[in-house]
A and B are shown apart, each in its own frame.
Chain A
Amino acid sequence: MPEMTYREALRAGMAEEMERDEKVLLMGEDIGVYGGTHLITDGFLDRFGKKRVIDTPIAEGGFTGAAIGMAMMGLKPVVEMMTWNFSFLAADQIIQNAAKVRYFSGGQVEVPLVIRGPNGGGVQLSAQHTHSLENMYGHFPGLKVVSPVTPNDAKGMMLTAIRDPNPVIFLEAGALYGTKGEVPEGDNAVEFGKARVAREGTDVTLISYGRQVNLCLRVAEKLEEEDDVSAEVIDLRSLRPFDSETIVESVKKTHRAVAVQEQWRWFGVASEVASIIQEQAFDYLDAPVVRVSGAEVPAPYARNLELAAFPSEDAVAKAARQVLYQEVSA
């Protein structure tokens, strides 16, 4: 199977859909002449022309709203948020229009829209440029929210997102744009609402999404080596719709679970995971589900503080040992 980077996979997904479907167009800041701040759309302007690759001013609210309008007219815009941090300026359009217009029009219109861009932190961008917004957008009925972590899913979920007749919030793992993985040739569309078992195991389930999945995989190896513990790692990858079944099945097997997220603990995805497990697998649990989250502070700049603000290998390992009763909770 051919290998490609996460970046190339996104590019392939968008380009193939643009070739296949003339209704698909791209818009965003510096995506054309500049080639995209993260070079995701490099070469697209030359290939598809400026009618389909629109460089916008720094006007997130305006161009996202215009994209929603285009979508209501039957076009299929793929909007780049240079980073999700800037989507707060577009949040009114996303939440008040994209998520709801189908409902309040009594089903007369649809919004086949994708909004994509890098989500999450980790490179010292500090408070205003470090957010993980899956819980925020996941909160609103009418939006779909996905967060691929492998190149295969980056491409396959991009295909699905563009084809979906609903607005899709496509949260990319910005820190992983350069990472490589196998991607089959041709149409590898990945269905939304299906989690991925990233590693099989029998003793404890580590549940995560985005770049934290890789952290969980590293911790799983460490637990294997140091404690002879077999950890299963689940990559949620689709947060709305959500795959309860895969998690519940795993917990029925392992009886222990740790939910890991980069975002803040309160009102987050990990809380949802813990709640679903206690509702649907209570009798199988041998320990309370533990959440590992980002520190409850705006993101700091200094490297040492930033590292302390995000889930670490040690924190996840400690949580795993806690649910395995190898370590007593503080």
Chain B
Amino acid sequence: MVPAESEHTGDGAVETQEQQQGGGSPVATDGEHLVDLYKKMVLIRTFEEATQRGFRQGKIGGYLHVYIGQEAVATGFLDAYKDGDKVITAYRDHPHVLLLGSDPKAVMAELYGKGTGLVKGKGGSMHLFDVENGFMGGYGIVGGHIPLGVGFAYAQRYEETDNITQLYLGDGSISNGAFHEAVNLSGLWGKDGMNPCLFIIENNQYGMGTSVERTTAMTDLAAKFNAYGVENEKVDGMDVEAVLEVAHRAADRVRETGKPYAVEALTYRTAPHGAADFFEKYRTKDEIKQWRERDPIGQLEHRLIERDVIDEDGIEEIKNEMKETMKEVVRFAEESEEPPLEELYTDVYTGGGVYTGEEG
């Protein structure tokens, strides 16, 4: 591991930090910044809870995968996002796009299948996209997006920018061939400084109903990257401060060297896999309870109060405000119109052209 100076250049200014060899000590971020991260995590949680209600009411269709329990991971890593960077993930994609600044109303409207949705009602929960804000998509095939992210990173260096790609992937995707082929490429191209790709494994312990131990005989997922010459480490993904420290250090390093780096964030989805995962036979209530005690939002809340950054009333206020905001978000989604039927035939080909199969 290379010690690095972590300089936060995003909007919420943070003091530069000296990092010790090996990292691991939380960044002493200022209170204001932590409150900002806290608000972001509450936004994600509140948004996800609203989507679960929408699904139960039959207003959201298809598949719905929420990020409840994992908030610290994307929140921490996307704090290191700079303009021009690219972000790509699989189908558990609501938090990433919200953190990058998409309007929650447009995101919710997408889930409601409305014309005002982020992708015009065409993709739904699994396929959010917001290119302007750096979000290059949500993808539904496990592992399928990983090669794309490696391609983004090559393009970023090809065009001689100092941008990087944050590539999120699940523990389940490690078994997929696309993962191995793409990480090998990334390591190889990285030797020439041509692959500024930051791999972030969201290890939430399960791929649907299959635990990591039941999916591979070598369960150290970060270490899988060793086989391809990609340096790596692990982080406690329930602790946003720990994530923040690694995120900035790793992102700076990737930006500087053009070489890939991987971080395995150990986390847990306290929610079911998808909204239709009813039985959860693959894990115990006790296990969920134990992880819930380490809830990322609860942990940060506790620290903020302990450090006198905010008091309980302040916390309540943030939560209530978010609830009010979410009511408006849902109202917007509900009141929006369905996409016009003409949308069915748009966006199939670049350059337009309506191709119905009826002609000729």
* Chain A residues packing against B (C-beta within 8 Å): 29-30, 33-35, 37, 55, 57-59, 61-62, 85-86, 88-89, 123-129, 264-266, 293, 295-298, 300-305, 308-309, 330
Contacts and interface: CB of A to CB of B under 8 A. Distances in A.
Contacts of B215: 57-58
A103 B143 CA distance: 33
Nearest to B211: A33
A300 B343 contact: yes
Nearest to B139: A128
B208 A303 contact: no
Given A127-B140, A264-B357, A295-B344, 15 more contacts: A34-B281, A58-B143, A62-B175, A123-B61, A126-B140, A128-B139, A295-B356, A296-B355, A301-B121, A303-B61, A303-B113, A304-B113, A305-B121, A305-B339, A308-B341
A302 B339 contact: yes
12 contacts: A30-B209, A30-B210, A33-B282, A57-B172, A61-B177, A125-B140, A300-B339, A301-B123, A302-B114, A302-B338, A303-B113, A308-B341
Nearest to A299: B122
Interface secondary structure of B, over-half rule: loop
Interface in B191-213: 207-210
A65 to B, nearest CB: 10
Contacts, number: 140
Query: Which one of A61, A123, A265, A295 has the highest number of Cβ atoms from chain B below 10 Å of its Cβ?
Result: A295
Q: Which 9 A-B pairs have the closest CB atoms?
A: A34-B209, A301-B124, A57-B175, A124-B61, A302-B121, A302-B113, A128-B140, A124-B62, A296-B357
Nearest to A33: B282
A51 B210 CA distance: 17
Contacts of B25: none
Contacts of B358: 330
Interface in B204-244: 207-210, 214-216
A62 B215 CA distance: 13
Nearest to B125: A301
B128 to A, nearest CB: 11
A304 B341 contact: yes
B141 A302 contact: no
A65 B176 CA distance: 13
A240 B121 CA distance: 37
Contact of A129 (B63, B122, B356): B63
Contact of B210 (A29, A61, A88, A309): A29
Interface in B48-63: 61-63
Contact of B356 (A58, A296, A301, A305): A296
B75 interface: no
Interface string B97-117: 000000000000010011101
A293 B63 CA distance: 25
Contacts of B177: 59, 61-62, 89
A37 B208 CA distance: 9
Interface string B128-146: 0000000000011111100
B127 A58 contact: no
Nearest to B115: A302
B80 interface: no
Interface residues of B, number: 47
A106 to B, nearest CB: 30
Nearest to A266: B357
Contacts of B348: 296-298
B279 interface: yes
A300 B141 contact: no
B356 to A, nearest CB: 6
B6 interface: no
A304 B339 contact: yes
A58 B282 contact: no
Given A126-B126, A296-B355, A34 B345 contact: no
A73 B61 CA distance: 44
B173 interface: yes
A301 B357 CA distance: 21
Contacts of A35: 279, 281
Nearest to A31: B209
B113 A301 contact: yes
Contacts of B207: 57-58
B152 to A, nearest CB: 19
B208 A29 contact: yes
A85 B214 CA distance: 23
A126 B62 contact: yes
A126 B93 CA distance: 15
A128 B125 CA distance: 12
A297 B344 contact: yes
A62 B343 CA distance: 38
B171 to A, nearest CB: 10
Query: Which one of B127, B173, B176, B357 has the highest number of Cβ atoms from chain A below 10 Å of its Cβ?
Result: B357
Given A34-B281, A124-B62, A295-B345, A85 B127 contact: no
B172 A124 contact: no
Interface in B278-302: 279, 281-282
A123 B113 CA distance: 12
Contacts of B216: 57
B357 A86 contact: no
B120 to A, nearest CB: 8
B113 A124 contact: yes
Nearest to B173: A58
B142 A58 contact: yes
A4 B220 CA distance: 45
Contacts of B210: 29-30, 33-34, 55, 57-58
Contacts of A89: 141, 176-178
A11 B13 CA distance: 60
Contacts of B117: 302
A61 B144 CA distance: 13
Contact of B344 (A37, A85, A308, A330): A308
A297 B356 CA distance: 8
A305 B141 contact: no
